Structure 1
Amino acid sequence: MDENTNLEEQRERIENALISAVDDMDREHLRKLQLTMHACAKRCCADMDASAEAVQRCVDRCQLPLTRARCYVQQELAEFESQLEHCMRQCRALASDGGGDAAGGRSDRCSLECVDRYVALLPELLSTMRMALDKGL
């Protein structure tokens, strides 16, 4: 297997794991918040005595929990990706410092270990995120 294929497979593994994580968070938490937001906004709009400004403020308040939750999920996943990228950069530095084919092999193994380690960390991250979302942040 050549280096590009191996790196592409690693990227695909991480991408699939992250897509799955985002889908899980969406199904388990964000959609419920979205339903709640829309029900709340519907109540705001149903108040025929309220001014347009008051209705808009009400709708904006309804959106806050979902907006906070989405930002939280995005921040956590961005931090995860940043840490993974740092690990991968360290592996690339290993290859550039060592030189030769042996260093390239060490770099590939190192990169694979990064991917394995971070994919294995995803369930723990998701669990932490679920608990935070369950508490309402």
Structure 2
Amino acid sequence: MEEISDRVQKATTKIFTELDRDLIRQMQGDMHRCSAKCCDVKTSGLDDVQRCVENCSIPLTQAQNFMQQEVENFQDRLNRCAKDCQDKLRDNLPSTPAESQMVQFRKELESCVSSCADDHIRKLPDLAKRLKSNISSMK
């Protein structure tokens, strides 16, 4: 099961590293440049500067929140799929399974969970496109 988890982790890390490099870092730079401009206005009051700086962070915060929500949705769907595998297989086990049945159960569970992982890894490019599109519109 650890190999399956590593596969999913590598695939998701690759996608989110690209999103960070291609979009989020630019938004962070924009936020800092915008905030610096707020501070450059010498005639602004303390509240005005604070409000300006907060407004500069809105697009990045929205993008990060959106990404976090999409990651959680992805993880929830993957977990539900794995749980479904476990439930389906457990329903077929006798109340006191023999060791050989438990070995078979673990093999089938790993195969089913691996299939879930593969399905979700295949969905990552579409998730990345959706994230890029939505985040780009937040700039």
The answer to whether TM tops 0.5 is yes
What are the Cα deviations for residues 83-123 of structure 1, in whole angstroms up to 9, with x where unaligned? 00000001111232222243333222111100100011101
Quick one: which of 110, 116, 128 aligns to 1:114? 116
Quick one: which of 25, 34, 40 aligns to 2:34? 40
Structure 2 partner of 1:27 = 21
Structure 2 partner of 1:52 = 46
Structure 2 partner of 1:4 = none
**Preserved CA contact (<8 Å) 1:10 1:115:** yes
Query: Could you say which structure has the greater relative contact order, defined with CA pairs below 8 angstroms and 6 or more residues apart?
Result: 2
Quick one: which of 86, 108, 115 aligns to 2:80? 86
Q: Distance in 2 between matches of 1:121 and 1:20?
A: 13
Q: Per-residue deviation at 1:135?
A: 2.0
Structure 2 partner of 1:70 = 64
Over 6 Å off, 4+ runs = none
RMSD (CA atoms) = 1.3
Higher Rg of the two aligned structures = 2
**Preserved CA contact (<8 Å) 1:95 1:104:** no
Q: Which piece of structure 1 moves more, 101-110 or 12-21?
A: 101-110
**Preserved CA contact (<8 Å) 2:62 2:138:** no
Identical counterparts, % of pairs: 28
**Preserved CA contact (<8 Å) 1:94 1:106:** no
Quick one: which of 10, 27, 36 aligns to 2:4? 10
Q: Distance in 1 between matches of 2:68 and 2:14?
A: 14
What are the Cα deviations for residues 52-80 of structure 1, in whole angstroms up to 9, with x where unaligned? 11100000000000000000011011100
What are the Cα deviations for residues 16-72 of structure 1, in whole angstroms up to 9, with x where unaligned? 122222211111111111111011001000011111111000000000000000000
Structure 1, unaligned runs of 5 or more: 1-6
Q: Distance in 2 between matches of 1:91 and 1:52?
A: 57
2:118 counterpart SS class: helix
Count of residue pairs the alignment pairs up: 131
**Preserved CA contact (<8 Å) 1:94 1:103:** no
Structure 2, unaligned runs of 5 or more: 94-100
